[in-house]
Every structure is written in C-alpha cells, then in structure tokens.
Amino acid sequence: MARIPFNVSAKTARLIGRENVSNLEGALIELIKNTYDADAKKCVVYYESSTDRLFIIDNGTGMNKDVIINNWMTIGNSTKKESVYTKSGRVNTGEKGIGRFALDRISEKCRMLTVSKEERFEWLVNWENFDSSEMITDTYADLNDISENIPEFLSDLNNQFLLNMLKIDFTGTGTCFVLENLRDQWNDAVIERVKSSLQKLLPPMENNAFQLFFFLKDTTERDARILPDLLNEYDYKLHFEVDNLGECTIQIHRNEFFFGAQFEKIMKKAEFSEDDREYFNDKLIIKSGSVYDFLPGVGDEVNIGPFSGDIYFYKLVLQSDNQEKYFYKNFITKRSNFKELSGIKIYRDDFLVRPYGIYGTTGYDWLDLSTRKAESPAAVSSKSGSWRVQANQICGQIRISRLNDNLPDKSSREGIVETKEFKLFRELVVNFIEKLEEDRQYVIRKLDKLYRSTAKGEQALKIAKEELNKYKEEGEKKQNNTYNESDSEKKQSYENFHKAISYQEERIQDLQEEMGLLRTLATTGIVVNTYIHEIKALTTQLNVGVKEAYACLAEDNDIISAEEELKKLRVLKDKFNSWFKVTIDAVEMDKRKRKKENIGNIIQKSIGKWKSVQNNKIDYIYIEKEEIEIRCFPFDFETIVSNLVTNSSTIFKNHKVEKPTIKIEIGRNDDKFYIKYSDNGPGLCTAFKKEPQKILKYGVTDRRNANGEVIGTGMGLWIVDSIIQNYKGHIDLKKNIEEESGFFMDLFFEGREN
C-alpha cells in the first residue's frame, strides 16, 4: 500500500487572503490586530497619495528570523496558539495563522521591515507570484539583513508630522509594512470609509493602552488620532455582565426625565414608589439571576461563556408636546451622526467583530430589533401593548474574549459561527434590552395616566365655565327682553347633547365588538397553530381514504370495497366537527353581541367542545360556587377558556404528564366575580417563577422547538389579560410562586347584571 502526501496549490494563498477577506476594511483590521498582539502601544496607518502607497507601522516587539521562517512564512502556524496571552498580558486576538494573507487583499507587492531586540530584517513578497506557481513550496519571499530602524527606513515620507512622531516613539522595536500596487483606488470615498471603519474598530474606553492613528499627506498627529465616537448624552443606559457560571447582572440608568420643582408632586400624583424616587435621582436599577431566569423555557444546559456590554437608548426626535407631557430632558447635543453611531457592536478583546452593528451592512440589526418592532408596534404609552425599541434608536458594545471559546469567530473573520450558543447569546441580549423597554414603558404609562387625568379635569372645568357664562348671558337676556325663548333653547341643547352622547356610546360599543372579534380570531389562529399536526393528520387520513375508495372503483369496479373505505371516513367527520366547534363556532354572529349570559354555561359548553377534540384524554373538574349572570360578549369567555386550555394541553403533551387534569371554579368574592383556573402540570419555568406576571405581557413565551428556538406567539395570555381588563378586572398569579408544581390563575372581574 502506497502512502502519498497532500500537496497545496500556490493559489491557496489567494483563497485564504484575497478571497477570504472580503473587503479592504476587513484586511486592514486583521493587520492592525497583529500589531496589538505584538504589544504595540501605537499603530499608524498612512496613505501617501503622491506615491499611491499604504504604510502600516507599529512599535510592537517585532519578529526575529526564527519567528519569520517558522511562523510568519508557515500557513496556519501561529505562536498565538501556544500562548493565549502576550508578554504584556493582553489576550491574543488571533490564532489561526492566516491573518498575514490579508496583505494580499490590499496590494500586489509588500515590503516589510521588522525590528526585534536581536535582529533587523527586510522581507519582500510579490503576491502575484502565487498565481504563476504550481505549488506553494515553489513560491518564495526575499529576506535580507538590514541595519536601519523604522524612522530611517521611512525617511522619504511626505508627512513631516508623522516623521517627527516616528523619531520619538518608533526608534526601538516594531514592524512596518510598505504596500505598493494597491488593489483599491484610494479616492475620497474610500478614505472616508476606511476612517469610519477605524473609528468603530476600538470600543469606547478611557485607557490609552493602544493608540491608533490614520495619517494622510498633511494630517497632524492630533488630528490623526482615532478616537471612538462616544455617546455622552443618553435617555437610558443598560449595563450587563454574564460570568462563567451563567450568573447575570444588569444595571439600568434612567436619564430621560427631569421633574424639577414638581418632583414631589409628580411622585405622589403619579403613584411612583419609594424606589422610583431614588431611580429618578441616578440610583441604578439592578436585576440579577441565572441565564435560566432570562431565557424562558430553556431546558438544556446553557454555556454561553462570559461577556459584558453597555447599550444606550436615545430619542432621535423630541416633540414639544411629549416633552411637556412626559417631562423629557432636552439634551443640548443633537446627534447628527447618530445613524453611524447606532447599532450594537461586538468587540472581541477590544477589537471589532464585523459586521455586527455596522450601519449599511447586513449585520447592522443582527438582533432583529426591527422585526420585534414590526410584531409589536405599540406606542410607549400603550396600556396593553409592549413597546419595542427600534434598531436605529440604540447604540452600544458587547465585549467578549478569545478565552470564550463558546462563541468562536468564523475563519473568514466576518462574524461569529452561528452555533446554538450564539443564538442563545443573541436571545439573552434581546431579553436584557427588554428590561430597559419595560422600565421606560412603566414610567411613561404612569406619566401618561397622570397627564390624561389632569387634562380631563381641565377640560371639565373649561366646559363648566362655558356653561356658566352661557346661563349668565341667558339671565341677562331675561332682564332685557319681554319674551322668553329659553325653554325651547334648553330643550334643543338637551337633545343635541343626548344625540352626541348616544353616538359616542354606539361608537364605543362597535369598537368593543370589533376588538373582541379580533381577539377571538387571534385565539383561533393560536389554537390551529398549536394543533396543526393533529389537524394535518386528519386531512392526511381523509386524503388516503378517498384515494383508496377511488382506486376500488376505477381499477376494480368494486363498489362494496369503496363503500367500506368511505364508511371508515365517517369517524373523521365527527373529529372535524369537534375542531370546527372549538374554532369557527367562536365567531358566530350571535356571540358577537353583548347580552346577559350565564358564565357557567359558556364555560361548560367550551369544556365539552375541548373534551371532544382531546378524545377525553384530559380530566376536567368544574365547580360552581355561585351562579354568574352578567351582560357580556359570549366569545370573550370562550376565548379565555380556549387560551388557557391550549396552554395546559401543550404542557401536558411536552412533559408527558400522567392523568392530566384541569380544574375550573367560578363564584363571587365580595364585589367581584372570579374564575379560578389550575392544572397539574409542572408549573411555570424558572424564568417566570419569581415574576409570574411576566406571562401576561405581549410576546412573552417559553415554547421552544427541538433546536431550542422560540416558537410560541406569546399572545394567548396577553389576550386573556386584555379581556379581563375590559371587565374592570385583574389576574392574580401569586399562587405560582408558592406552589412547587401546577399552574394557577385567578381571574377577577366585574359585570353588569342587567
């Protein structure tokens, strides 16, 4: 048996260089990362337009001959694999041993000077030689001894400011690349693009451990310094940290509101808590828990690894009426460049991971915030809908490390490998952002309620004054006129008021009916979506049976066998009818009118329909402590039952609950009616156990598929809560905190009994 070696084509260099690094900015970033890994304190990028050359210069440790031959000249071999940390303690940003081939993406020719403590070498390569050679071992670079240091090697540069800087900071060790025959035309647009990319490369930070400069012909050292664009003024700031064990801590800073001298008055009238008083005075809101508390429904072990971040929310437009209503701060700075600054960027060991958060790229909205906004477009003042932030309203950075091998980079250096851990990482960040959204909406709702109550009072006062003036004028008329038409005018005024009020009441009634119908239709969609597999199975059986009957007639002319096949399908008719009763029957015209109904009868009929659909596999216990008869929309209470039963059925199935049981009790407690619903499932997941009220919010769900991806709509219990609010009620979920297993929901509501 012969043993034959692998050969590597010379064109491999092009594959891992020119074709692997997609653009100029990406290639520059790879080379700048190398300067950081060499412990450079300063790195210079200089484009000289008169000679069309590009220079990349650093004052790092340089390379000796052994490193050049065994590492620099060997594909895939890197000293960084053996040592995670540099000599100065930095975490190496690279390890794959292919970053140097980014030089091929920038230019055809490269000349390198590298100065280490022991030696100085000049290294020259023509990347075009890789296209003409057969094997990579047939391609050579030139390596020469040299006596010059970096300032001497670059003495012919046209920028005197840069030359002065080199003489001060670059006389020791370091590396310099001179790139000629550039592959890109360095016009104004490209230069601006490169500068913008370099500004995003380093995260906003206070330390000066690594300084980056971008020089052109006449650029001074001060102007060449690349400083990250900081957002000093913001409405909200979110800071978060996740450690190795998956413990999460988030801090929220409210910075959007200013009440001035009205502070005490607003705290009292808007019913803010004592904690809120401190939060409005710059105390941080702190929340903590494990990743399981922030990732509802995740059953498997989650190992995302450590990371931290800061995210800022900033209103792009400040409307004067909203400023008065919500007491917004009026920031002096107007962020004309917020579009470029926006986006959540990821930094690995202080270097940008493209394309996340980069405006104008496919990775700009990598958290899918725009999709979330489209799915939940509610205003921040909405009473029931969940406000979602837009992708262009936030900016920030997330910091991860090479030490976190659960989130590895792609070989192309364009992004992170889309592993299961990365998807959970993305979901976790979105759930952190949701905490900011919740707090902002909590504040705005209270301020909106205060404003509306004040506005109503002022409006009522205005109307009262107008009426007073009207009757005052009428009294003066009585004194000055011998005839009196007041009785006729009063009658006409009364009739006009009566018509207007009746019209408004009819309009409200129509809107309530329409809203209830939409909720019922949404519930029908949820039910069908939940049981789609069962419904598909019925249609498949129907299809097969019809085909069998047709075959008996068409091929064998066997009428008896065809009839037998069709008889088998009769049982499917009953099953389909059961599904139609649970879904289509809910929107019958008769159920869309408010009328006096017995709630117990509605619930028992709904239970009967569900028993039929579920083939009596679930036991139902119904207890009626007191009869409830109120004016209501029948489909409202059918919708409540359908949503709760659908949730319980899914839980029973997913957790293989033995003897699944649902218990429903109705009655009266003082001035409110109640429906107490419970099941014997495993209960709420960890993420909701401490704060069960979360499950009533729009879009909140713990339903996941086999891949751990969220598939629930998060609408069912939100619809239930909306219905109960319409009946001036509330939902109590406290028992879920107390009990180890089982789900418990107490619904309290009012209703007109006549």
Q: How far is the C-alpha of 250 from the C-alpha of 390, rounded, in Å?
A: 20
Residues 37 and 170 reside in one and the same domain:
yes
Tell me how crowded residue 655 is: count the other CB atoms within 10 A of its CB. Answer: 12
pLDDT digits (tens, 9 = 90+) for 227-277: 876 666 789 999 999 999 999 999 999 999 999 899 999 999 999 999 999
What does the pLDDT look like over 387-424, one tens digit per residue? 999 999 999 999 998 888 888 888 766 789 998 899 99
Are both 582 and 727 inside the same structural domain?
A: yes
Same domain, 190 and 326: no
pLDDT at 715: 81
Q: Which residue has the higher pLDDT, 573 or 166?
A: 166
Please check whether residues 352 and 220 belong to one and the same domain.
no
**177 is a domain residue:** yes
**Residues β-bridged to residue 748:** 674, 730
Mean pLDDT on 109-137: 86
Q: What length is written for the chain?
A: 754
What is the biggest distance separating any 2 CA atoms in the chain, rounded to whole angstroms? 131
Q: Is the pLDDT of residue 633 over 70?
A: yes
For the segment 291-320, the average pLDDT, to the nearest whole number, is 87
- Rounded CA-CA distance 44/224 in Å is 9
Same domain, 195 and 280: no
- pLDDT tens digits along 641-671: 988 998 999 899 888 999 999 999 999 988 8
Tokens for 316, please give them. 């792009």
Q: What is the pLDDT of residue 718?
A: 86
Q: Rounded to the nearest 10 degrees, what angle do helices 532-556 and 559-568 cross at?
A: 170
**Which of the two residues, 293 and 548, has the higher pLDDT score?**
293
Structure tokens, 456: 């109503």
How far apart are alpha carbons 454 and 313 in whole angstroms?
Answer: 29
Query: pLDDT tens-digit profile of 479-507?
Result: 555 545 555 665 555 555 555 555 565 66
- Measured CA to CA, the distance from residue 386 to residue 377 in angstroms comes to 8
Query: Closest Cα partner for 448 from 329, 330, 327?
Result: 327
Residues 126, 203 within the same domain: yes
The per-residue b/e assignment along 207-241, b for 16 or more CB within 10 angstroms, e otherwise, is eeebbbbbbbeebebeebebebeebeebbbbbbbe
Structure token digits, residue 111: 């000349």
The label of the residue with tokens 């007109």 reads: 752
The parent domain of residue 200 ranges over 12-224
- When pLDDT is averaged across residues 19-33 and rounded to a whole number, the result is 82
**Contact between residue 325 and residue 448 where contact means Cβ atoms under 8 Å apart:** yes
**Statement to judge: residues 515 and 608 lie in one domain:** yes
> Residue 753: helix, strand or coil by DSSP?
coil
Q: Is the pLDDT of residue 468 over 70?
A: no
Q: How many domains does the chain have?
A: 3
Structure tokens that stand for 322 in this block = 């909203």
Other C-beta atoms closer than 10 Å to the C-beta of 32 total 24
Are residue 208 and residue 280 in the same domain, yes or no?
Answer: no
Nearest alpha-carbon partner for 677 in 722, 651, 643, 650: 643
Last residue of a domain, which of 224, 247, 263?
A: 224
Residue 272 has phi, psi (to 5 degrees) of -75, 155
Query: Residue 51's pLDDT is what?
Result: 95
pTM for the full predicted model: 0.68
